[in-house]
Amino acid sequence: MNEGPPAYNIEEERVAILAAFKGLLRSIKDRSREDTKRIRKAFDLAIDAHKDIRRKSGELYIWHPISVARICAEEMGLDTTAVVCALLHDTVEDTYITLEDIEDAFGLKVRRIIDGLTKIPDVFDDNASVQAENFRKMILTISDDFRVVLIKLADRLHNMRTLSSMKSEKQLKIASETKFLYAPLAHRFGFYTVKTELEDLSLKYCEPEAYQEIVAKLKSTQDVRARFIRRFTAPIKEELHQQGYHIDIKARTKSIASIWKKMQTKDIPFEEVFDVFAIRIIVDTPQENEKSDCWRIYSIVTDFYQPSPERLRDWISTPRANGYESLHTTVMSPQGKWVEVQIRTKRMDEIAEKGLAAHYKYKEDKNDESKFDRWIAEVRDLLDNPDANALDFINEFRLNLFNDEIYVFTPKGELRVLPTGSTILDFAYDIHTDIGDRCIGAKVNNRLMPLSYQLQNGDQLEIITSPKQKPNEEWLRFVVSARARQKIRSSLNEERKLIAQDGKEILERKLKQFNLKMGSENITFLEKYFGLGSATELYFRIAKGKIDVNKIREIEDKHGLLQLAKKEAYTIKKTKKSKEDKDKSIDAKKDILYIGEDFKGIDYQMAQCCNPIPGDRVFGFITINQGIKIHRSDCPNAIHLMSKYAYRTVKAIWTSEKMVERMASIRLVGIDQIGLVNRLTEIISKENKVNMKGIHFETNDGTFEGRVDVMVFDTEHLELLLQKFAEIEGIQRVTRWVDDNESMY
């Protein structure tokens, strides 16, 4: 018997929604009667537009825009216009409401913000990504109105908070995209609380076992931490109160994602992460006394506890690009533990918590260009490049999101902030594009240095130029700033286009000679035949003589060019097809690849970067010319693939009809002992009847690290082997090996 749709109490839902709206109004500080009218008008329009529509969880859709608006007001401190736009952000995309309707009711400013929040149509080809295009469209509006990005962050945060109602493969794609793009974006805008929550929620769905393990360990050590913090802060608090400071001391536990990242990068267990928490001292003091009071409090803290000179970070004298200001130090406690102490004022803390909105609230001179404004100008430079596709834009844009910074000076003493690892060339392009294009070196602290010299904090530079100099491909290998990379690529592309034009004319003449058309089908086929990504690249190689155009006659004589063009192995391009072609194409949204069975005549293989085996959560990735590669969901490359190329991923499921051995790699770390390798091979060959494909060990000062490649049937088989290895005396850590350097495509 089929169950009918669930019953909903409409009256209870109506009362609850009105209560939520009143809660939203209460969260908006300093609103006028006119503000209340505008918000009510937006709420009424949203209710009418989304009526009877429900989310995957079953709740009415209107809860989502109300929740997003509440995040904007309460957690980000945004204004009435942002709240209005948050309530309306999905109306144009999902309902009968048009942008013209929005403009008529709320004006041009609101229309532009809603337009920036509305996704582009779901149409793409081999070289485009819907996610990338939508992200680029949103970023386009930064220079016009940064509220677009902030509302989008609030929208993404609420979606992540309610992600549990989605299917697992959808959870993985959304979480991957969030970690790859939106968490770094929140970081750059200074919303550390939003960034932290987005990272934690992404980890919850991308690495569920690791997430739950860290949550459990944080909970089990909570009481011990609380007692330690009370004892540590007591003398500091007493002394500061005696000296007349109005302070608030908080203990901030390190985010789950940060703990996991440190465990991975340092290759240590949870118990060895020393900075699980930090102490934050917030002082209420006038702005003119901020710097002196923070350093005075630092002096008091270090009177009680010995500081580590290497761990002092002064972001008060030189704030970060997103406006973050704070004084950080790490001190040794009487119990022998290092503790991070952050010292800041109430104003600085609000900027740290509410990012850009608070930054502009406290900005005294509205015409003063901050480092954040300079970053916006760099983003505008990236968007001004007409040749960059959306994926290239995202790659360059991300370079500007998470980089640490160094501080260098011009000959006249002007301070310039650049990403860590920047070279002379990055500095030259930061000054001006023409200076970068003609740069041949620089005097760094009065010493002549080459273009590739990596800048250090405090360096002073005088750029040397030559009118004969011009950018070359080699420059892209050592520049790190997005601005420099984009400007170099732009110059190279211009030169490349001129050369490609010659190649196009050569090809056109040759095709005419062979009595073949210069049509798009033939050009597309030639691109794929020679393994190239674009027609420009094809023409360029022909002009450079890297492709012999006479080979085209050999292809035509042997197979017939047009016939070959119709025999593509697979397609993900959404174009009109015949029924036969359509059956052979892949629908990434609906198709499921059952590993062990034929999949539309398309080859698939296990990715060497993560070597998936039965039992692993996996997905298929459609490569350009290697069929489909099966990756583990926790593969180091999974975040990158799912966030940028979700349209090329296919759901994959293991079939258990026949047992097939597959290779898995195991990483071992421990104390070097005589006979240890012999014991390992004994376990592999005798106790578990496992075939070993390879073994490699390196020793250093009594410790060793090794890799063993074995053939196993599934994750259960592998887990049994890992447990056996862990029991060997001298073995300290046994994990599965992954290689994120292997080609993904």
Q: DSSP letter at 743?
A: -
pLDDT averaged over every residue in the chain: 80
Asked if residue 741 is part of any domain, the answer here is no
Instruction: Tell me: pLDDT of 626 over 80.
Output: no
Residue 85 in tokens: 């736009």
Report yes or no: 317 and 328 within 8 Å, Cβ to Cβ: no
Domain boundary among 161, 188, 206: 206
CA–CA dist 254, 687 (Å, integer)? 42
**Residue 558 and residue 597 in one domain:** no
The residue ranking higher by pLDDT, 376 or 337, is: 337
**Residue 505 and residue 457 in one domain:** no
**Residue 30 and residue 98 in one domain:** yes
In this prediction, residue 239 carries a pLDDT of 93
Active-site choice (35, 59, 75, 94):
94
Confidence of residue 185 (pLDDT cuts 50, 70, 90): confident
Residue 366 in tokens: 């509205």
Asked if residue 145 is part of any domain, the answer here is yes
The residue ranking higher by pLDDT, 374 or 314, is: 314
For residue 663, how far is the Cα from the chain centroid? 30
In this prediction, residue 563 carries a pLDDT of 39
Asked if residue 573 is part of any domain, the answer here is no
**Residue 642 and residue 619 in one domain:** yes
Confidence of residue 200 (pLDDT cuts 50, 70, 90): very high
**Residue 335 and residue 428 in one domain:** no
Task: Tell me which H or E stretch contains 157.
Answer: helix 147-161
Asked if residue 745 is part of any domain, the answer here is no
> Mind spelling out the 3-state secondary structure of 217-232?
HHHHCHHHHHHHHHHH
Domain boundary among 565, 598, 629: 565
Work out the average pLDDT over 156-180: 89
Q: What is the pLDDT of residues 476-520, one digit of tens each?
A: 888 988 788 888 888 888 888 888 888 888 888 878 777 777 777
CA–CA dist 55, 64 (Å, integer)? 9
Domain boundary among 176, 206, 236: 206
Confidence of residue 470 (pLDDT cuts 50, 70, 90): confident
Give the contacts of 128 (CB within 8 A, at least 6 positions apart).
Answer: 389, 390, 391
In this prediction, residue 404 carries a pLDDT of 67
Give the contacts of 494 (CB within 8 A, at least 6 positions apart).
Answer: none
Q: Which whole-number Å values give the CA distances from 41 to 7, 44, 86, 112, in the listed order?
A: 30, 5, 13, 18
**Residue 561 and residue 707 in one domain:** no
Annotated catalytic residue 93 = yes
Work out the average pLDDT over 586-603: 73
**Residue 226 and residue 294 in one domain:** yes
3-state percent helix, strand, coil for the chain, nearest multiple of 5? 50, 15, 35
In this prediction, residue 128 carries a pLDDT of 45
Residue 618 in tokens: 């996996």
Confidence of residue 454 (pLDDT cuts 50, 70, 90): very high
In this prediction, residue 398 carries a pLDDT of 56
Quick one: angle between helices 99-106 and 33-49, nearest 10? Answer: 160
Work out the average pLDDT over 3-15: 69
> What is the extent of the structural domain holding 234?
215-362
Annotated catalytic residue 94 = yes
Work out the average pLDDT over 55-61: 81
In this prediction, residue 580 carries a pLDDT of 38
**Residue 642 and residue 675 in one domain:** no
In this prediction, residue 435 carries a pLDDT of 92
Asked if residue 98 is part of any domain, the answer here is yes
Q: What is the pLDDT of residues 334-363, one digit of tens each?
A: 888 889 999 999 999 888 877 665 655 555
Q: What is the pLDDT of residues 283-323, one digit of tens each?
A: 999 989 999 999 999 999 999 999 988 888 898 988 876 67
Q: What is the CATH number of the domain that holds 84?
A: 1.10.3210.10
Confidence of residue 125 (pLDDT cuts 50, 70, 90): very low
Residue 88 in tokens: 């309306």
**Residue 478 and residue 500 in one domain:** no
In this prediction, residue 367 carries a pLDDT of 44
Q: What is the CATH number of the domain that holds 289?
A: 3.30.460.10
The residue ranking higher by pLDDT, 439 or 598, is: 439
First to last CA, the chain: 47
Residue 74's closest CA among 10, 131, 23?
23
Task: Please state the pTM of the whole predicted model.
Answer: 0.66
Confidence of residue 571 (pLDDT cuts 50, 70, 90): very low
% of the chain residues with pLDDT over 90:
21
In this prediction, residue 366 carries a pLDDT of 44
**Residue 380 and residue 473 in one domain:** yes
Asked if residue 743 is part of any domain, the answer here is no
**Residue 53 and residue 35 in one domain:** yes
Asked if residue 484 is part of any domain, the answer here is yes
The residue ranking higher by pLDDT, 578 or 639, is: 639
Q: What is the pLDDT of residues 685-723, one digit of tens each?
A: 765 567 778 888 887 777 788 888 888 878 888 888 888
Find tokens 């913000």 and name the residue.
Answer: 113
Our count of domains for the chain comes to 6
**Residue 219 and residue 307 in one domain:** yes
Task: Tell me which H or E stretch contains 709.
Answer: strand 703-712
Q: Which whole-number Å values give the CA distances from 521 to 149, 497, 563, 566, 574, in the listed order?
A: 40, 21, 10, 9, 15
Confidence of residue 578 (pLDDT cuts 50, 70, 90): very low
Q: What is the pLDDT of residues 93-110, one digit of tens each?
A: 888 888 999 999 999 989
Active-site choice (93, 434, 495, 716):
93
In this prediction, residue 606 carries a pLDDT of 86
In this prediction, residue 556 carries a pLDDT of 57
Instruction: Tell me: pLDDT of 584 over 60.
Output: no
Report yes or no: 397 and 482 within 8 Å, Cβ to Cβ: yes
For CA atoms 550, 556, 558, 559, the dihedral sign is positive
Q: Which whole-number Å values give the CA distances from 712 to 605, 612, 636, in the listed order?
A: 17, 11, 21
Asked if residue 45 is part of any domain, the answer here is yes
Give the contacts of 557 (CB within 8 A, at least 6 positions apart).
Answer: none
